[in-house]
Copies of this chain bind each other. A is one copy, B any other.
Amino acid sequence: MVKQGKVVETVNLSVELAPRNPHGLRLRNPVMVASGTFGYGSEYAKLVDVHRLGAIICKGTTLERRDGNIGPRTAETAAGMLNAIGLQNRGVDWLLREHAPRWAKWKTPVIVNIAAESVAEYADLAYQLDGREGVAGIEVNISCPNVAGGNVPFGSSPTAAAEVTAAVRRASSLPLIIKLSPNVADIASIAAAVEAAGADAVSLINTVLGMAIDVQRRRPMLGNTFGGLSGPAIKPIALRLVYQVAQAVSIPIIGIGGIASTSDALEFLMAGATAVQVGSASFTNPHAALNLLDGLERWLLVAGVAEVREIVGAALPK
């Protein structure tokens, strides 16, 4: 039953993440690093050849500087971790001043992840990023609470998600990725709504809401009580959500969630993802993304697959 491949000599790893966008977003390979787990690209640069990555998503950026949550902010869990950073960052001006000029010189595109608490703020952020050298695209984190909408996250209703998408779309012509939350009952309808509202691609999943309790102190482990679960523990959930979204949209999907190895990445590609993001696995092994990339190339060669695109969605119902 193992598929026998034809003999291929090289593999074309490149993927296009924004086929509908006039700028396009072509990556040399489908292996990216996820927001909040790779800083602004430079922190790991001493250790890892970041120029081999498909793309880098920077830490979530807001309009104004944010101090973030009181600690503890992280807790280890079985095959994973919780985080409640609270979007600590220095704001979009600082980002554009301190980082974008450097990114403009990199071979690897950097996509800016944005977060906000109102539709207007999202649009404002997108407007400020539009046309700026060094910014290859925007990834919109819609897991943030909608302050005007009773603090329900934008990502939990198709309407609110579509509203954010449309506003960002109007404010910027950059390739636009909407990052979906897993804490919903029907992700496919949200994915379809953001596609219709103009998203170039969707990425999923953001972290799964969880918590841990400090039994000795009889109180929540995290300063913020709840936190986002990431790591191998959530991979089966993320994979299922990608598989469901792949049957609901025709824009590219970026798979995220517990990806640490080549075989993890292959699972996501076969479930319908065009590219993947490596998140907290970089903490355990800073070389995780590049090792995975090397392994992916070898696997495709051995399997006789000449274009990575050929295996995208291979496990979907025929």
Which residues of chain A have a CB within 8 Å of any CB of chain B? Answer: 1-3, 77-80, 82, 156, 183-185, 208-220, 225-227, 229, 231-237, 239-240, 243, 258, 263, 266-267, 270-271, 311, 314-315, 317
Across the interface, do A240 and B211 meet the contact criterion of CB distance under 8 Å? yes
Interface majority SS (helix, strand, loop, mixed), chain A: mixed
Q: In angstroms, how far is the closest chain B Cβ from the Cβ of A277?
A: 17
Residue of B nearest to A238 (CB): B210
Q: A78-B80, A210-B239 are in contact. List 14 more A-B contacts (CB 8 A).
A: A3-B216, A77-B232, A78-B79, A82-B236, A210-B236, A211-B239, A211-B271, A212-B239, A213-B239, A215-B263, A219-B314, A220-B243, A225-B243, A225-B317
Across the interface, do B79 and A212 meet the contact criterion of CB distance under 8 Å? no
Taken together as a complex, chains A and B put the C-alpha atoms of A144 and B305 apart, in Å, by 40
Give the residues in chain B near A77, CB-CB below 8 Å.
232, 235-236
B185, B211, B237, B314: the one contacting A208 at CB < 8 Å is B237
Residue of B nearest to A216 (CB): B2
With A183-B185, A237-B210, A239-B212 known to touch, is A78 a contact of B267 (CB < 8 Å)? no
Give the residues in chain B near A2, CB-CB below 8 Å.
216-217
Give the residues in chain B near A240, CB-CB below 8 Å.
209-211, 226
Taken together as a complex, chains A and B put the C-alpha atoms of A184 and B156 apart, in Å, by 10
